[in-house]
Structure 1
Amino acid sequence: MQIVKYLKQYRIPFSGLVAGKHKFDFEIDNKFFDCYEHSIVKKGQLKADVELTKQENMLVVNFHIYGTIQLNCDVCLSEFEAPQDFQERALVKFTEESWENSTEEVIVLAKTDYELDIAELLYEYINVRVPYYSKCTEQGVNLSCDPEMLAKIGTDTTEQDEDSNEEEKIDPRWDILKNIKNN
């Protein structure tokens, strides 16, 4: 119940707005990400500047999201801040029929709806921006990987390589199987 109450602040009541452009500002912090159990991003400080253009049968919603999110480096495992600054757009159409076929670009609402919940959109836009492979030196600003961790990883990988080489030398059955492939 607490989660639903917290996410209510990310709703835009559009029914009382006159046609034209309207601006809204939203803060996105750790509490926002805590509301989503399986979120890739767990921590962050972002702002969302939202410009809603109301027309007779639709809304055009432009998002400018900027700030930082916390990521874990896939190389040295340290946590670092990754700056974010991007823009997105969503179209909202109204229909009298109950139509559940919303897409990524077009959101469909009933004519009786009076507010737009953008929490899910913000969540998706931010999480989609998380790189598949996070690295301090690539997504961070003026950062480098933790040298102590790199040293530990470097020694562990060389030991593993030596172990695998010894296994190949010890077991002669593999050499016999390699000869079958050559015939």
Structure 2
Amino acid sequence: MKHLKYYRIPFSGLTTGKHNFEFDIDDKFFDCYEHSLVKKGQLKADVELQKQENMLIVNFHVHGTIQLTCDVCLAAFDAAQDFQERLLVKFTNDDWNQETEDVLVLSKTDYELDIAGLLYEYINVRVPYYSKCSEQGTNASCDPEMLAKLSDSPDLETDKETEEKTDPRWDILKKIKNN
């Protein structure tokens, strides 16, 4: 968790205007999150922070690769990531619990913005529901040896046989339905 301290932006000493920051996201970052969908990756986050008197506008541009596991052949492959996000940060003295996904509310006494959780969330949301080497990978295709083993699997053949074998009583009922 000490590694996540690197992903804090101390904005209290900054002047009004735009400021740019660069953050490297690697395996150490993902190791800090136990249940992360992504375990390995090499990403760079370019963060532009625009400081105003009563709010911050934060633009994220994250690019690089993350390592995913193919759901078909179980091979690890690199999937390219390149996306942008925007976040508004407002300051208030009151207890404000009405945060949305685009607006983050901080106390006027806060002096730094922790973006580690935001980066983690942005990256994990981009993980596809169904990962496949040939679709999400760069110059990757499914492992032919694993695909050959899958096609020779006796479990798949028995499923086909049970689908083809039907009770003859159902065939008679289907004829009645078609009339």
TM-score (norm 2): 0.90
3-state secondary structure, aligned to 2:84? strand
What runs of 5+ residues in structure 1 fail to find an aligned partner? none
3-state secondary structure, aligned to 2:9? strand
Deviation, structure 1 residue 158: 3.8
Deviation, structure 1 residue 102: 1.5
3-state secondary structure, aligned to 1:149? helix
Of 55, 80, 97, 1:100 maps to 97
The verdict on how the C-alpha distance between 1:177 and 1:113 changes in structure 2, with shifts beyond 3 A counting, is: farther
TM-score (norm 1): 0.88
Task: Name the amino acid aligned to 1:89.
Answer: R
- Size of the aligned set, in residue pairs, is 178
Of 8, 12, 35, 1:15 maps to 12
Of 156, 159, 167, 2:157 maps to 159
Task: Name the amino acid aligned to 2:162.
Answer: S
1:109 correspondence with 2:106: yes
Of 120, 124, 128, 1:131 maps to 128
Deviation, structure 1 residue 165: 4.4
Deviation, structure 1 residue 31: 0.9
Of 69, 84, 88, 2:85 maps to 88
3-state secondary structure, aligned to 1:37? coil
1:57 correspondence with 2:54: yes
The verdict on how the C-alpha distance between 1:39 and 1:173 changes in structure 2, with shifts beyond 3 A counting, is: farther
3-state secondary structure, aligned to 2:104? strand
Q: What fraction of aligned residue pairs are identical, expressed as a percent?
A: 73
What runs of 5+ residues in structure 2 fail to find an aligned partner? none
Q: Which moved more, 1:115-124 or 1:149-158?
A: 149-158
2: distance between equivalents of 1:15 and 1:86?
A: 28
Deviation, structure 1 residue 164: 2.4
Of 56, 73, 77, 1:76 maps to 73
1:48 correspondence with 2:7: no
Deviation, structure 1 residue 91: 0.4
Aligned to 2:21: 24
1:141 correspondence with 2:138: yes
Q: Deviations over 1:43-80 (max 9, x none)?
A: 10100010000001000000010110000111111000
3-state secondary structure, aligned to 2:158? helix
